[in-house]
Every structure is written in C-alpha cells, then in structure tokens.
Amino acid sequence: MTDSPVFREPLHVGRPNIGSRARLTERLEGALDRLYLTNGPLVREFEERLAEVAGVDHCVAVCNATIGLQVAAKAAGIRGGDEVIVPAFTWVATAAALDWIGIVPVFCDADETTGNIDWTKVEALIGPRTRGIMGVHVFGRPCEVDELEEIAGRHGLPLLFDSAHAIGCTYKGRPVGGFGTAEVYSFHATKFVNSFEGGAIVTRDAEFAERCRELRNFGITSAGEIRSGGTNAKMNEAAAAMGLTSLEVMDSLMEANRINHGRYEKGLDGLPGVWVRGQAEGERANHQYLVIEIDAAVAGIHRDEVHTALIAQNVLSRRYFHPSCHQVEPYLSDPARHAPHPLPHAEALAERVLALPTGTTVGPSEIDQVCDIIRRCVSARTPAR
C-alpha cells in the first residue's frame, strides 16, 4: 500500500440521496408560503405515497423510526415491564427503542444466512411476560413472515416489524410494509429514501393507525380530547418535503444499488472467505446496504483488519452490526436483561460483516478500487493457490 490513500476524498457508506433539488426547493417554498411548518399537507401527502408503496391503507409518519417503534409498541398495548422478543443481530435502536420505555427486549439468535431473527428459536423464548414479537428485515432481506405470523397468531401476540431497511422490498411478491400488526420504516439521512430524519408506521389496521396518530400527537384524539399519555413523534413539513422528493426517485436508486451489488459480487468473486451478502431469491430488493462477510478462518485475515485497511485508504466502511445487540450496554452487564443463553449465530455474524459504500455517489471505478484494496488485504495473508 502507498502512503497517500487510494481515495483523496472519503468514500462513505450512507451518502444521502436528494432526488430533484428543484422539486425539494419548490416544496419547501410552498411550506414557507403556507406558513404550515408541521401538521401540514406535505406530511399527509407523504403518508399517502408511503401507504401506496407499502400496499396498505394506513400510514402514520413520525420524526424517526426509533420513536416510531415506541409508538407502535404502545399502540399494540405493550407496557413497561412486558417482554418483547427481538433479534440480537440488528442496529441497537431496535432494542433501545423498547428498553427506553421500560419494555424488556428478549434477544433471539439470528439465522446466519438471512441475518434475520431465527424463527425456529422464537417460540422457546415466549414466557409469561411476553407481550410481543418484533422482527427486523435485516439489510432489506425479508424475515420469514409467514412463520412469525403463525407463531404470533397462535400465542395471541402482536407482531411488529422494524422495517428500517426494507422499503421497496418484497416478501413472496408483496411489499414489505403490509405484514404483522404494523411495520416501521426509517428515513434517516443514511437510508436510500430519506427525510433528513424520519420514519413511518404502516399498517392494515385502521384502529391501530388511529391509536398511533393519537400517541404521536400527545395522546390527543381527532375530536381534540386527551385519551392517553402520548408523546410528540410528529414529522415536520421540511422532512416530508425531502421524503416526497426522495421517494420520487426510489426506483432509480434501487436500480443503481442493484448494479453496484453486481459489480461488487464480480469484483470479489473467487476471493477465499469473502462474499457479498445476498438477497432473497425472486424478491425485489432495495440493496441499500452493500454488506460483505469475511470469514477470518478462510480468508486468513479478520474483518477488523480489512476495515482498518479500507479506512486508511479513505473508504469509510462500517461494521454494521458489531457488536451484536445483546453484547452492548445496558444488556451486557445487567443480568436481568442479559440474553439467557449464548447467541452464536448473531455473534458470528457480528464478527464477519462489513458494510461498504454504495448508492448513486459510488460508481464502477470506485467499486473496482474498493474490491482491489480488499483483494490485496486477503491475498497478502492467504497462501498462493
């Protein structure tokens, strides 16, 4: 490796997509002219568009997905002290959203192929305090929805999905967003559809949506009465302006991500112990995360060393998700909240995964150079074949 980095400017994971600046500006100007900066028409329009994308009748936009998960959990009747089964391999927000309002996340191991909650292990975790199950469509790959719905239905438990990664994806040909009791999208700036910060709860259940609307707005009903203890989870008009603008180009963003995915697969093909995580066969995937796995035993080099080498070359890879959620505070040192048993698959995944730059700001030559850096790291360690 040379002293000066391969890339003069940092190559980021999670570069935001803006869409048409003119459309964004027009929408922002409209909000300024109307003097409606929140509780306004752009949020309602964004909700309508999102409901169409999700294939549902109801959408409640919120200020971010973390708060959205809390609102959805409360709307599902889950209270402080209740337990909810969650995957261990996920972004910390899945568990933290619940923990923050006194709900106890009970960690379930991952399926190593899909990265999702291992549905075969869910039922064994159901106990007297269990009040819900929360799946996460990790990196946009859909959970085993049918199996989870069957388990939740049999036990009379609400099933929520953290769909922060999965807008635009399908499960058995149907859009992710229409499953379980409700699903929650994220539109954080690093998501390929973004609203600066933001999220949305999508559901088929009209009453559930109404409860979410109330809880989002201090517990105030549409008749103006306070029926429950709510919060302020509202999305503002500027966020909705960005969300609408970004959503307009969703299909082309997905196509750009798909092409990048193929380029990375080709660039890393045949490299021992290194592979690009795949998506579900026959389903539409948004490919918003480009995640490789590095099996140190085969590649001869640990993921962390490759990560360090990439950063030295200005490729700002991210270890999504390391450590596994159950291995961080407050769960790590609190025996009452610690995972009841080792979660080997989640832990193994957390040691292998590495998210690489993708999206519209990354082109083929950048991808080839990133692959070349990884190739050189691995080749330096593996014996010649």
Binding interface with ligand T4K (CB under 6 A): 12-16, 64-66, 90-91, 93-94, 136, 162, 164-165, 186, 188-190, 199, 316, 318, 320
Smallest distance from the beta carbon of 143 to ligand T4K, in angstroms? 12
Note the Cα 45 to chain centre separation in Å: 23
The DSSP-derived string for 245-274 is HHHHTHHHHHHHHHHHHHHHHHHHTT-TTE
Strand partners, 85: 106, 133
Nearer to ligand T4K, 93 or 157 (CB): 93
Smallest distance from the beta carbon of 36 to ligand T4K, in angstroms? 23
Which of 121, 172, 191, 234 does the annotation list as catalytic? 191
CA distances from 174 to 142, 215, 280, 367 (A): 11, 28, 13, 31
Smallest distance from the beta carbon of 50 to ligand T4K, in angstroms? 14
Nearer to ligand T4K, 148 or 378 (CB): 148
Please name the amino acid found at residue 21.
Answer: R
Nearer to ligand T4K, 271 or 315 (CB): 315
Residue spans of beta strands (DSSP E) within 195-327: 199-203, 274-276, 290-294, 315-316
Please name the amino acid found at residue 319.
Answer: R
Q: Please report the sign of the dihedral spanned by the C-alpha atoms of residue 109, residue 110, residue 111, residue 117.
A: positive
Smallest distance from the beta carbon of 316 to ligand T4K, in angstroms? 5
Nearer to ligand T4K, 88 or 271 (CB): 88
Q: Compute φ and ψ for 18, nearest 5 degrees.
A: -100, -35
Smallest distance from the beta carbon of 381 to ligand T4K, in angstroms? 26
Smallest distance from the beta carbon of 199 to ligand T4K, in angstroms? 5
Nearer to ligand T4K, 91 or 378 (CB): 91
How far apart CA 374 and CA 307 sit, in angstroms, is 9
Nearer to ligand T4K, 170 or 317 (CB): 317
Nearer to ligand T4K, 176 or 378 (CB): 176
How far apart CA 378 and CA 272 sit, in angstroms, is 8
Please report which helix (H) or strand (E) contains residue 65, including its range: helix 65-75
Q: Which residue is nearest to ligand T4K (CB)?
A: 14
**How is residue 237 annotated by DSSP?**
H
- Residues 64 and 197 sit within 8 Å (Cβ to Cβ): yes
| Catalytic (active site) residue 191 | yes
Smallest distance from the beta carbon of 121 to ligand T4K, in angstroms? 19
Exposure letters 338-376 (e unless 16+ CB within 10 A, then b) = ebeeebebbbbbbbbbbbbbbbbebeeebbeebbebbee
CA distances from 8 to 5, 33, 260, 264, 363 (A): 6, 42, 21, 21, 15
Burial of 294 (0-12, 13-18, 19+ CB in 10 A): buried
- The residues carrying an active-site annotation are 191
